């Protein structure tokens, strides 16, 4: 049997409205995560680690920082093996219109598939945090004979109304019998009635079948042109859609604690909670797995530095991630993630927070359950996340759970 040629497509054109104001000036996949990473780094790292080396990233919404990150960080030399990762914006090949959905993004980019002539196309989202060996899913797809395969993660049945839910028959557990968006009456799995299969937004297709499917969908006037909402149900209706249980996937270096971790960080609350999963001594998601690394841009930066302040106070750092270039001087930092080149000064108190690049937190400032975007300056003695009404009055976003978000470049006064 000849080797199958694999082509990767990363869907990175989403607007990410639920992550505002973090997406006010950038595409959702370009949002910083875990210190020096961007969200898209997880999808691209998984593909590269899986041996998929011809990849296009389809971009659209406020894509400048995302395009720059892909070009600067993910420069893969073509060489003899024709390996590359290329950012491809909406090209308006089918008329003067933008992508109207994820399926339409592929339809308008079919020239990319025609150029490479792959046997298999892997389509993944760009805004989930997880590890996955796609080579195992690809092999399972080939072995099953399905035309399309959807990656699934087991979730409690009580959360079914938050996901696209995959239903299977006990007689054919690897075939999808129905695919429903956020059902209120989900049916549990035969081997685990308290669980359902939730779609991870990752797919493997036979290339010719994908081309036919997005063309059919493009001719429909009643379609939202979405991969999960329209393309997958089309394959299901013909009995050609398979499911791949993430529990079958064995990632090198994974532990029992993080083996099947997957987080959709589509809201401020889930974004915040995913960061909390990183910081414990035994993290729920382990960034330190050297057998399956998450790659990103490593800026030419000095190490992080922890120093005494002018009064000789060293401060404390507990259960936190601190990136390169940071200086923590006599401050208290706890259960927080700090991005590159941030400065936290004497007497400042930062707890349960996410601090992006180049943020400055001046002496005596208090930051509690907050997300500070790039270049925010918190003035001496200022408070964030302490008084909800005051935060709202200052124009900051505050979630129902009490997470305060300060947009890029804001100067916060006492």
Beta pairing class for 195-206 and 164-169: antiparallel
Three-state DSSP state, 382: coil
Contacts made by residues 320-329, CB under 8 angstroms, sequence distance 24+: 320/279, 321/34, 321/35, 321/278, 321/279, 321/287, 322/35, 323/35, 323/36, 324/36, 324/298, 324/299, 325/299, 325/301, 328/304
Distance CA 366, CA 348 (A): 6
Sign of the dihedral defined by the CA atoms of residues 14, 16, 17, 18, in that order: positive
The answer on whether 144 is annotated among ligand-binding residues is: no
**Among 149, 141, 135, 142, which Cα is nearest to 292's?**
135
Contact 388, 353 (CB under 8 A): no
Half-sphere exposure of 30 (CA within 13 A, CB side): 28
- Alpha helix locations (H) across 155-308? 207-218, 232-237, 268-276
Cβ count near 255 (within 10 Å)? 12
**Among 7, 202, 30, which Cα is nearest to 102's?**
202
Backbone angles phi, psi at 364, to 5 degrees: 75, 0
Distance CA 292, CA 298 (A): 17
Three-state DSSP state, 344: strand
Contact 331, 337 (CB under 8 A): no
The answer on whether 181 is annotated among ligand-binding residues is: yes
Distance CA 343, CA 263 (A): 29
Sheet holding 305-307, edge to edge: 305-307, 327-329, 343-344, 360-361, 377-378, 411-412
Query: Could you check whether the bond before residue 13 is cis, i.e. omega within 30 degrees of 0?
Result: no
The answer on whether 167 is annotated among ligand-binding residues is: no
The answer on whether 62 is annotated among ligand-binding residues is: no
Binding site feature residues for alpha-D-glucose 1-phosphate: 164, 181-182, 199
Residues tagged in the binding site annotation: 164, 181-182, 199
């Amino acid at each position: 049997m000849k080797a199958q040629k694999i082509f990767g497509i990363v869907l990175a054109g989403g607007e990410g409205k639920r992550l505002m104001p973090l997406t006010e000036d950038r595409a959702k996949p370009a949002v910083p995560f875990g210190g020096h990473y961007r969200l898209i780094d997880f999808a691209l790292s998984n593909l590269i680690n899986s041996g998929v080396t011809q990849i296009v990233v389809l971009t659209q919404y406020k894509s400048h920082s995302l395009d720059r990150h892909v070009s600067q960080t993910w420069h893969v030399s073509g060489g003899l093996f024709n390996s590359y990762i290329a950012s491809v914006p909406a090209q308006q090949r089918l008329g003067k219109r933008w992508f109207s959905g994820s399926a339409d993004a592929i339809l308008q980019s079919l020239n990319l598939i025609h150029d490479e002539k792959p046997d298999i196309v892997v389509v993944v989202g760009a805004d989930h945090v997880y590890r996955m060996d796609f080579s195992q899913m690809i092999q399972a797809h080939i072995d099953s004979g399905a035309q399309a395969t959807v990656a699934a993660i087991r979730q409690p049945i009580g959360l079914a109304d938050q996901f696209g839910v995959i239903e299977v028959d006990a007689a054919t557990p690897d075939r999808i019998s129905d695919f429903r968006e956020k059902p209120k009456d989900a049916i549990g799995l035969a081997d685990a009635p308290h669980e359902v299969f939730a779609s991870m937004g990752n797919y493997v297709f036979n290339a010719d079948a994908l081309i036919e499917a997005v063309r059919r969908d493009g001719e429909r006037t009643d379609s939202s042109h979405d991969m999960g909402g329209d393309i997958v149900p089309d394959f299901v209706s013909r009995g050609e859609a398979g499911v791949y249980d993430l529990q079958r996937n064995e990632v090198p270096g994974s532990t029992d604690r993080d083996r099947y971790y997957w987080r959709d960080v589509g809201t401020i609350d889930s974004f915040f909670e995913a960061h909390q999963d990183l910081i414990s001594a035994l993290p729920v998601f382990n960034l330190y797995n050297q057998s399956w690394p998450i790659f990103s841009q490593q800026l030419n930066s000095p190490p992080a530095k922890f120093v005494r302040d002018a009064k000789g106070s060293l401060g404390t750092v507990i259960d936190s991630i601190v990136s390169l270039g940071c200086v923590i001087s006599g401050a208290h930092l706890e259960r927080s993630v700090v991005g590159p080149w941030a400065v936290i000064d004497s007497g400042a108190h930062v707890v349960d927070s996410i601090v992006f690049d180049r943020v400055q937190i001046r002496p005596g400032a208090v930051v509690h359950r907050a997300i500070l975007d790039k270049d925010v300056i918190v003035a001496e003695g200022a408070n964030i996340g302490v008084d909800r009404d005051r935060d709202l009055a200052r124009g900051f976003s505050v979630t129902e759970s009490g997470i305060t978000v300060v947009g890029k470049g804001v100067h916060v006064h006492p």
